[in-house]
């Protein structure tokens, strides 16, 4: 009889992988792309930019807390889920938004949240009318709190400036183990976050989520997990494991090559697999579309730019798992790092 001793977690080959898992949660999300019309849907309609660069309507489900701050509450028995929305002063200029995202994060989040990372993972999305927003998230615990919060900073393109919004997703529970439960609760409030961005319209619109130059290059993503078992009769141990790596090379002329290598070990028996493909690539709105000789692929783009390690990163979600909920991004997202 074999008994499971322990489970090895996922480990990304690229250095920024653990940042993504820690910062965005570790469970599959309940919020589907079809529930996010305009927020992150690849089929979202586009309207002309808002007058003055930004239009902002607070959802009716959010109550005012103070000037520039609103709160959504979702009771759960004697517990409650909350979302706080905080609007900050505008940041002049649209140029170099990733650098400004890092600067704003350090100025507004690192200052008030102990152990907040100073280097952020750059993510992207569209708001309601198709204007771009740059954002990053991390699971943090405030100095005066005993529960973790999902803290997100968004910079929305709006005319000649970037409009910052901070979103705090929290779960209040005083029972034993509440801090662990809180880390798995953020998908419960993601629909309320999407309601916020249904009320945000920026400018310009009609531009792709990433520039083609940000896609071009050589990229690598990998992951793995292992489980160790012990035989309670003989005392013998064995390990089951799976690991794989994926490499893409996106040429400036829109050609690509794909390489996959993997190994699967079951009770001491290891099997290897590989795959290769070539074809052409293009960016459509917020999708990376690959027309391959062996098969076609589509990826939802959720991140691009210089990552926490200083290398360029490309964060993609394969077709069939498109969602902006924190857990879905973490579970199904593939965080590529430039080779």
Mean pLDDT along residues 298-302: 96
- Name the CATH architecture for the domain at 2-14+210-338: Beta Barrel (2.40)
Q: Is the pLDDT of residue 147 over 50?
A: yes
The whole-model pTM stands at: 0.82
Percent of the chain with pLDDT over 90: 59
- What's the whole-number mean pLDDT along residues 258-283? 86
**Lowest mean per-residue pLDDT among 35-39, 228-232, 308-312:** 35-39
CB 115 within 8 A of CB 139: no
Q: Where exactly does CATH 3.40.1000 map onto the chain? A: 47-201
pLDDT band at 117 (very low <50, low <70, confident <90, very high): very high
Put residue 310 in one of left, alpha, beta given phi > 0 → left and psi -120 to 50 → alpha: left
Tell me the C-alpha distance between 203 and 162, whole Å. 10
- Stretch 137-142: mean pLDDT, rounded? 91
Q: What is the largest CA-CA distance in the chain?
A: 74
Residue 104: predicted pLDDT: 97
235-270 pLDDT tens trace: 777 777 778 899 999 999 999 999 998 878 776 677
Euclidean distance between CA atoms 205 and 91, whole angstroms: 19
CA 236 to chain centre: 41
pLDDT in tens, 75-106: 887 788 999 999 999 999 999 999 999 999 99
Could you count the other beta carbons within 10 Å of the beta carbon of residue 17?
23
The model's pLDDT over 196-216, given as tens digits with 9 standing for 90+, comes to 999 999 999 999 999 999 999
Q: Which two tokens stand for residue 20?
A: 């993504």
**Minimum mean pLDDT among 49-58, 144-153, 227-236, 321-330: which range?**
227-236
- More confident call, 111 vs 27: 111
Does 3 score more than 90 pLDDT?
no
User: Could you report the per-residue pLDDT of 157-174, keeping only the tens digit for each?
Assistant: 999 999 999 999 998 876
* Closest of 200, 201, 219 to residue 288, by C-alpha: 219
Q: Is the pLDDT of residue 135 over 90?
A: yes
Annotate 153-185 with DSSP letters as a single string.
EEEEEETTEEEEEEEEEEEE--STTHHHHHHT-
The answer on pLDDT for 44 being more than 50 is yes
pLDDT averaged over every residue in the chain: 84
pLDDT reported for residue 174: 63
- Tally Cβ neighbours within 10 Å of residue 78: 9
Architecture in CATH of 47-201: 3-Layer(aba) Sandwich (3.40)
Q: Which percentage of the chain shows pLDDT scores above 70? A: 83
Residues of the chain with CATH 2.40.128: 2-14+210-338
User: Would you put residue 279 in left (φ > 0), alpha (ψ -120 to 50) or beta?
Assistant: left
| pLDDT(339) > 60 | yes
Helix (H) or strand (E) run with residue 301 in it: strand 297-306
Instruction: Give the residue-averaged pLDDT of 294-304.
Output: 96
């Amino acid at each position: 009889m074999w008994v499971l001793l322990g489970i090895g977690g996922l480990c990304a080959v690229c250095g920024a992988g653990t940042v993504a898992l820690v910062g965005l949660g570790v469970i599959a999300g309940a919020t589907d792309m079809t529930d996010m019309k305009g927020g992150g849907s690849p089929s979202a309609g586009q309207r002309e930019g808002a007058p003055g660069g930004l239009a902002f309507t607070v959802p009716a489900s959010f109550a005012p807390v103070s000037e520039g701050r609103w709160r959504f509450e979702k009771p759960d028995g004697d517990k409650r889920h909350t979302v706080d929305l905080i609007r900050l002063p505008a940041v002049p200029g649209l140029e170099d938004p990733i650098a400004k995202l890092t600067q704003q994060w350090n100025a507004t989040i690192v200052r008030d949240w102990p152990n907040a990372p100073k280097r952020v993972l750059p993510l992207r999305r569209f708001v309601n009318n198709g204007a771009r927003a740059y954002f990053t998230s991390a699971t943090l615990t405030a100095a005066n709190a005993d529960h973790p919060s999902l803290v997100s900073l968004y910079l929305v393109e709006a005319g000649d400036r970037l409009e910052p919004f901070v979103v705090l997703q929290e779960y209040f529970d005083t029972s034993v183990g509440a801090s662990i439960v809180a880390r798995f609760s953020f998908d419960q409030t993601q629909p309320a976050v999407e309601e916020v961005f249904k009320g945000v319209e920026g400018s310009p619109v009609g531009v792709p989520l990433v520039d083609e130059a940000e896609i071009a290059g050589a990229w690598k993503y990998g992951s793995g997990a292992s489980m160790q078992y012990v035989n309670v009769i003989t005392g013998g141990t064995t390990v089951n494991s799976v690991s794989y790596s994926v490499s893409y090379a996106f040429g400036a002329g829109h050609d690509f090559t794909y390489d996959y290598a993997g190994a699967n070990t079951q009770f001491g028996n290891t099997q290897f697999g590989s795959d290769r493909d070539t074809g052409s690539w293009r960016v459509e709105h917020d999708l990376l579309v690959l027309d391959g000789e062996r098969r076609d692929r589509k990826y939802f783009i959720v991140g691009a730019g210089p990552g926490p390690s200083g290398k360029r990163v490309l964060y993609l979600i394969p077709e069939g798992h498109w969602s902006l909920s924190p857990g879905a991004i973490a579970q199904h997202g593939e965080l590529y790092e430039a080779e």
